[in-house]
Structures are given as C-alpha cells and as structure tokens.
Homo-oligomer: A and B are copies of this chain.
Amino acid sequence: MAVQTRATLHDVARLAGVSAKTVSRVYSQRDLVAPDTVERVMSAAKRLRFRPNLLAQSLRRGGGATTVGFIMGELLNPFYYTVAAGIERELALHGFALIVATTDDSVEGEARVADTLLSQRVGALLMIPVGEDQSYLEGERQLGTPVIAIDRPARDLVADSVVLANRAGAYEATRALISRGHRRIAYICNPASVYTQVERVTGYRAALASAGIDPDPRWERLLDDPASSPESVVRDLMVQPSVPTAIIAGNNRVCIGAVRATLEMPAPPALIGFDDFETADVLGISVVGHDPMEMGRRAARLAVERMRDPIGFTTQLELPTRLIARGSGERAPALSESSR
C-alpha cells in the first residue's frame, strides 16, 4: 500500500538496458528503432507501468500544447454545453484535451479564468465573450495563443470567430408571423445588450419595416435585468390595454418563460423562440433553430488550424439558422384582436 513513485523514461531505459533517448524514440519515431529493441523497451515499460508525461513534453521549447481552454458562462445552459460538446468531440479527434472554465457570465469571471487557462499554457483559447472588450487578450495572442470567439465576436482583439446569422434568423421569423396576418408582434429578450440580441432586434425591425409596419416601443421588451423572470415579463405584456398577437422570444430561457406564461391562455399569442430546446417538439413550440454543436466543432477546428499555423488571416464564420414550424408560430391572430 506504500505509495510508489512513477516510472520515468530513464527507469524504463535502465530496465531495458538502453538509453533514455531510445525509449523516447520508441514512443515517437518507432520505425527508427530496431524491432527487438522496441520489444524490450515495451515490455519494460509495461512492467513499470510507464506512461509518458505530457506536461514534460510540452515544457520543452517548441513542445506543442496538448490542451485547449474553453471559457463559457455556465455548464447548465443548453446553448453553452452543446457548443462545449462540439468542441470536445472535435478536439478529441485531434488529440487535444479540453479544459472548461465557467464565468457565471460575468466580466470579472471571464478575465479571471482566462488568466488561469493561460497559466495552464493552453494551446488556444475558445470563448463566448461576455465583456465589452477582450483587448486584454491581445498581448497573449501576440505571444502565440490564438483566441477563437464563439456566438459573439471578440472586441478590440484579433481573433477568429464563429457566429450565427442572427439578423437573417430574426428577419425570417418576423416575416413568417407577418405573412400569417400578424401586425402587432412583440420581441422579448433578457439580457438585451449583447451582440446576438442587438443583431436579432435589428433583423426583427428590418422585417417590420419591409412590411410597412412601424416599430412600436410597447412591444419591444429589451431588458437587462437578471432578476426579472421571463414569465412575469410576458404576463405583464399580455395584460396591457393593447396586446400583441404574436411574440418572438429572443433566447431559449425567455421562450420557456413565455410558454409557462401563455400555456393556460384561452387564445394564446403566436410564439416563436430563438434557440431550440429539448422538449420544444412536445410542447409544439416553433423556433429559429440552429446547430450549436456545429458551432463548437467549427470553432475547435479553427483553433487546431491556428495552432498549426499561427500566422495567416483570421476567419469569420457565420452559420445559418432555420425556422422550425411546430404550431405555436403558425397560429393566426385571434379574431377579437385582429382589428387595430
């Protein structure tokens, strides 16, 4: 039960009666070693339970990194963990380990975990930016650690990025509602002052404008209050003197809140959410869907490319969305509401 010490290259070399370098070669350039030497080394390694130390490997000058860091808001958010899943799979394909770090979507958290990951000497930094400004990473990028921004572009930082076609998605959803006869269409989101929402609101307004509908501030609920529940925001909206006949929920959390709020209504408004979620099909909720897993995969692939080739132009990838009709978004305006 005594805690033994871990075998090193030298221990294996001694037992096999060769030099350390030969053992090293067996693991990296096996074809340069005589077959029977390989055999002897391998059996010595097995006997000593030898396992190469990746830390020591990447410590050498020029020894590439074996890990990649991912800075995410939290592991419980479906969008975040799906992206993480895509990243992990793609990285595993290329032999990199994934270190995840969460920030609780706070700016300080982002800087703090970035620091930790860089001290771990990750080969690349993948992140869903939170703060208004990632310039604090510019120095690190110049020192050779590429940064890949996901979902939102990095600000004041040279970085590759993978984002959604947010405007186009919101535009399409809004147009779909208009084509069903809706004119009073609400857009609800929280938080609102993030890149994705700014883009989506722009798409929403553009679609209204294209149909000759003036945007109405009463139906734009652009919140930035972590405390307010999406459900109550929707309930509040629906007891005003004039109510919308359709709602676009800016993200999955707001959408679930809207579902809760409108489920029991006799004549619920049409509803389209942004981001798909697990039971949306059971509940019959139409959404602007996309593929977060693919976002993660593409981001990871960019990271791998950058690690191999640190110089070169940065890539900005925009992934498409698609409107998934499941019923809630196809409801016509209630008759009593259709007149203005």
Contacts and interface: CB of A to CB of B under 8 A. Distances in A.
Interface of A: 1, 3-6, 49, 51-56, 58-59, 66-67, 74-76, 81-82, 84-85, 88-89, 92, 97-102, 113, 115-121, 139-140, 142-144, 256, 259-260, 263, 277-279, 282-283, 310-311
Contacts of A140: 49
A52 to B, nearest CB: 6
B49 A139 contact: yes
A49 B115 CA distance: 12
A54 B310 contact: no
Contact of A119 (B3, B54, B260, B283): B54
Contacts of A279: 256, 259, 277-279, 282-283
A76 B81 contact: yes
Given A4-B143, A118-B51, A75 B84 contact: yes
| This protein's copies in its complex | 2
B100 A120 contact: no
Given A54-B119, A81-B81, 9 more contacts: A49-B139, A53-B121, A54-B120, A55-B58, A75-B84, A85-B102, A92-B101, A97-B101, A97-B120
B311 A282 contact: no
Contacts of A115: 51
A112 to B, nearest CB: 9
A36 B21 CA distance: 46
Nearest to A113: B92
A75 B278 CA distance: 14
Contacts of A118: 51
A12 to B, nearest CB: 14
A118 B82 CA distance: 26
Contacts of A85: 74-76, 102
B121 A55 contact: yes
Contacts of A117: 97
Contacts of A260: 282
A51 B120 CA distance: 10
A123 to B, nearest CB: 12
B143 A116 contact: no
Contact of A55 (B74, B84, B113, B120): B120
B67 A120 contact: yes
Of A75, A92, A283, most B-chain CB atoms within 10 Å: A75
